[in-house]
Amino acid sequence: MTQHNLKSVRAVLLDMDGVVYVGNDPLPGVQPLLDYLEATGRSWLFVTNNSSRTPAQFIEKISKMGIRAGEDHILSSALATASWLKEEYPDGARLFVVGEEGLRWALERQGFTLIEDYTQAEIVVSGIDFHARYERLADATLAIHAGARYVATNSDASFPSERGEIPGTGAIIALLQTATGVTPTIIGKPNAGMYEQAMHKLDSTAATTLMVGDRYETDIEGAIKLGMPTAAVLTGITPLEQFEREPLRPAFILPGLPELLAAFQAADA
């Protein structure tokens, strides 16, 4: 994909952690890029594997960074997982959840019953859980052993923070999978379902939707396999050397969002 081809992009999906911010520290160039996309008639959506926050909490966080967005601009792996489960279980189900408020909110919003008695669980759902205790992980393990289906929001092994990379949802999956021998159904990126939900929301197609991310295995590779153009930024997890040596390379490898804005402006000139 060249700068000229970038002109044909009509929708942009942006990861959040490592692209928009790291922990509570904003990254440069977010609002100017969003303003330009809107001024040129392009739609955009934040698409994040972070399942910890509700849409309102995401908006509250980024508003403190001077970023303007509405709740309809958020698609988290929690929302995607809840939507997927609603399709699978339209009449509801009893869920035992390892996760933060964002996941619980999304599941309850879709009409699921969240229970604390693991012996009654039909499904175990795990996401990022910054307060996970051994006893809860043990209960989840016992529920899966007893036959509960295991579903996870995403498989990111690590989570970018101001201190550096800390354990992510994939680390929790690794613990539960090791303890149970059961591989979960994973909903978030790089699985096709989350990208497809995002494009449906924006009424866009793969060929005209740009995915912007910092992590090759989740943000970039999955999008490329769907035929989407991609822009990798070096503000998060994956280093330049890995992006360059992957067989499926992103169309753009950029220091950050200011350079992506410049690329759009050059393509539109």
Are 124 and 151 contacting, i.e. CB atoms less than 8 angstroms apart? yes
**Token pair in block for residue 77:** 């792996």
Are 227 and 211 contacting, i.e. CB atoms less than 8 angstroms apart? no
Catalytic residue from among 15, 129, 139, 214: 15
User: Helix (H, G, I), strand (E, B), or coil: what is residue 267?
Assistant: helix
How many C-beta atoms lie closer than 10 Å to residue 117's C-beta? 10
Are 195 and 222 contacting, i.e. CB atoms less than 8 angstroms apart? yes
Cβ neighbors of 66 (< 8 A, separation 6 or more) are: 26, 31
How many C-beta atoms lie closer than 10 Å to residue 134's C-beta? 8
Cα separation of 114 and 31, whole Å?
37
The secondary structure of residue 119, as a DSSP letter, is G
Cα separation of 55 and 53, whole Å?
6
Q: Catalytic: 15?
A: yes
Strands of the sheet containing 123-126, edge to edge, are 113-114, 94-98, 123-126, 149-152, 185-186
119: burial class by Cβ within 10 Å (0-12, 13-18, 19+)?
exposed
Bridge partner residues of 210 (DSSP): 12
Q: Return the half-sphere exposure (C-beta side, CA atoms, 13 A cut-off) of residue 38.
A: 10
Q: Catalytic: 214?
A: no
Q: Give the residue numbers annotated as catalytic, written as ranges.
A: 15, 17
